[in-house]
Amino acid sequence: MIYRNYKKKIDENLIKKIKFFCRKKRIKFLISNNFKLAIKLDLDGVYLPSFNKDFRHNNYALKRKFIILGSAHNLKEVKIKEKQGVKAIFISSIFKKKNTYLGINKFKNLTKYTYKNIIALGGINKKNIKKLKLLNIYGFAAIELFSKKNGPLKN
């Protein structure tokens, strides 16, 4: 689970409650774009959005199983995420949801340039989920797909 909120000030008590819930359910909990808070609250890791191009976090002493994930939209951002030391890269948008979507062919070409685990993101729904089998991906992420009552695999 990734906590992502760029509009409001982060409420540490809320983060602690979510952390407690996630630990109880054995779910990894990451916070977006805040290394210091992730270390301070002993979270499982941090998510670096595509606009974060900072390398200062490479100097922090991290626990052994600390997870760093990142997102990218093009080759330049993929290479930056590799240098930032991410474990996996979310590449978006794979299906037409925005004007900047990649499509399957561009997505496949982009994934050839990295050795990191790739997670598909963007525009994934019941109609196109089967197309993900064409790709060499580690996993996929979707908000709309999982927010519906029926879930991804029910008809």
Instruction: Write down the pLDDT at residue 50.
Output: 87
Let me know whether 137 and 112 are in one domain: yes
Count of structural domains within the chain:
2
Instruction: Write down the pLDDT at residue 127.
Output: 81
DSSP E strands: which ranges in the chain? 2-3, 30-32, 45-48, 67-72, 88-92, 117-121, 139-141
Q: Closest by alpha carbon to 145, among 78, 95, 110, 86?
A: 95
Q: Is 146 among the domain residues?
A: yes
Domain that holds residue 91: 87-155
Q: Is 77 among the domain residues?
A: no
Instruction: Write down the pLDDT at residue 124.
Output: 83
Of the residues 15, 41, 70, which one is the last residue of a structural domain? 70
Q: Which residues contact 5 (CB under 8 A, 6 or more apart)?
A: 32
Of the residues 70, 98, 130, which one is the last residue of a structural domain? 70
In contact, 120 and 101? CB cutoff 8 Å: no
Q: Is 81 among the domain residues?
A: no
Q: Is 95 among the domain residues?
A: yes
Q: Is 82 among the domain residues?
A: no
Let me know whether 60 and 96 are in one domain: no
Write out the two tokens for 114: 């990295």
Q: pLDDT tens for residues 58-103?
A: 667 778 888 999 998 889 999 999 999 899 998 888 887 667 778 8
Residue 39, pLDDT above cutoff 70: yes
Of the residues 44, 70, 96, which one is the last residue of a structural domain? 70
Let me know whether 41 and 99 are in one domain: no
Let me know whether 20 and 65 are in one domain: yes
Averaged pLDDT score across all residues of the chain: 84
Q: pLDDT tens for residues 41-56?
A: 989 999 999 898 887 7
pTM of the model: 0.80
